């Protein structure tokens, strides 16, 4: 299927309504044969009545008894959960990919007929989709550390303040674990705690085994030497 439109008029003539957009996306994603995005079943799904805002779109329910979940071609895609018409998503993708100088969210909103906030969201989600999806491991020298993110208690709104907070209290803050490569590449993730069982699976997912690992003397890092060349930094010194 060729979508090499030369003008916006050709685009609008082809994607004239939502039904056409859904048919095109089903062809791109499934080659026209619906596949359950929940369990991956190729068994022909049941056709069901559409739910929610979009009433005239192809909707299905998995034919596998163990699954039996409803879905559309949007399910588990960047369009899932969006109340914006698929045609506007496609139009945004067309505008972003053909404009040589880039488009602000304000201009994009005008072109596709949404609010600026919605256009900003669509812009960022489309750009995130276009990024390299294969995970890149941090290599060479990699630093790891955890931090608590959140403002000082005295600066919080009255209904969000907590009592008995002294000094560098971590109460009411969010813990974030991060790793930084030698070239400045950074990976971060919100974590429930800084225990070894929490941090090590993330480290193994992010960092090449041949890296030199640099950390402070937090106890969770004490066994890093088993898989990496580990350098501990004593901050007191």
Q: For 175-233, how does the pLDDT look when each residue is reduced to its tens digit (9 = 90+)?
A: 889 898 876 678 888 888 888 899 999 998 888 888 888 999 888 898 888 888 999 88
Kindly indicate the confidence band of residue 55, based on its pLDDT and cuts at 50, 70 and 90: confident
pLDDT confidence of residue 106: 93
**DSSP alpha helix (H) spans, the chain:** 8-14, 18-30, 86-98, 105-112, 116-130, 196-206
pLDDT confidence bin for 158, thresholds 50/70/90: low
96 pLDDT band (50/70/90 cuts)? confident
What does the pLDDT read at residue 132? 52
Q: Is residue 53 pLDDT above 80, yes or no?
A: no
User: What pLDDT, in 10s, does the model give residues 2-46?
Assistant: 567 778 888 888 998 888 999 999 988 888 889 999 888 888 999
CA 24, CA 37: separation in Å to the nearest integer?
17
In the chain, domain spans: 8-130, 141-232
Q: Is the pLDDT of residue 156 over 80?
A: no
Q: CA 95 to CA 92: how far, in whole Å?
A: 5
Spatial neighbors of 237 by CB under 8 A, at least 6 apart, are none
Could you say which DSSP state residue 15 is in? Answer: S
Q: Work out the percent of the chain whose per-residue pLDDT is above 70.
A: 85
Structural fold of domain 141-232? Nucleotidyltransferase; domain 5 (3.30.420)
CA 156, CA 173: separation in Å to the nearest integer? 12
Q: Are 176 and 190 in contact, with CB atoms under 8 Å apart?
A: yes
């Amino acid at each position: 299927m060729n979508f090499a439109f030369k003008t916006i008029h050709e685009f609008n003539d082809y994607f004239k309504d939502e039904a056409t957009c859904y048919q095109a996306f089903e062809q791109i994603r499934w080659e026209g044969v619906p596949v359950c995005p929940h369990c991956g079943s190729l068994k022909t799904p049941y056709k069901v009545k559409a739910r929610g805002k979009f009433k005239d779109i192809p909707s299905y329910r998995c034919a596998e008894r163990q699954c039996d979940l409803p879905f559309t071609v949007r399910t588990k895609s960047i369009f899932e959960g969006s109340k914006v018409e698929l045609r506007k998503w496609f139009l945004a993708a067309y505008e972003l990919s053909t404009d040589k100088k880039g488009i602000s969210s304000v201009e994009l909103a005008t072109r596709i007929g949404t609010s600026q906030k919605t256009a900003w969201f669509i812009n960022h989600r489309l750009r995130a989709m276009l990024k390299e999806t294969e995970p890149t491991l941090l290599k060479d020298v990699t630093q790891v550390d955890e931090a608590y993110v959140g403002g000082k208690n005295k600066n919080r709104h009255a209904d969000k303040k907590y009592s008995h907070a002294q000094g560098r209290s971590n109460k009411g803050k969010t813990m974030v674990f991060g790793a930084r490569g030698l070239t400045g590449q950074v990976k971060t993730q919100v974590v429930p705690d800084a225990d070894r069982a929490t941090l090590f699976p993330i480290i193994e997912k992010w960092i090449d085994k041949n890296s030199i690992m640099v950390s402070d003397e937090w106890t969770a890092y004490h066994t890093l030497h088993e898989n990496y060349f580990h350098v501990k930094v004593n901050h007191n010194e």
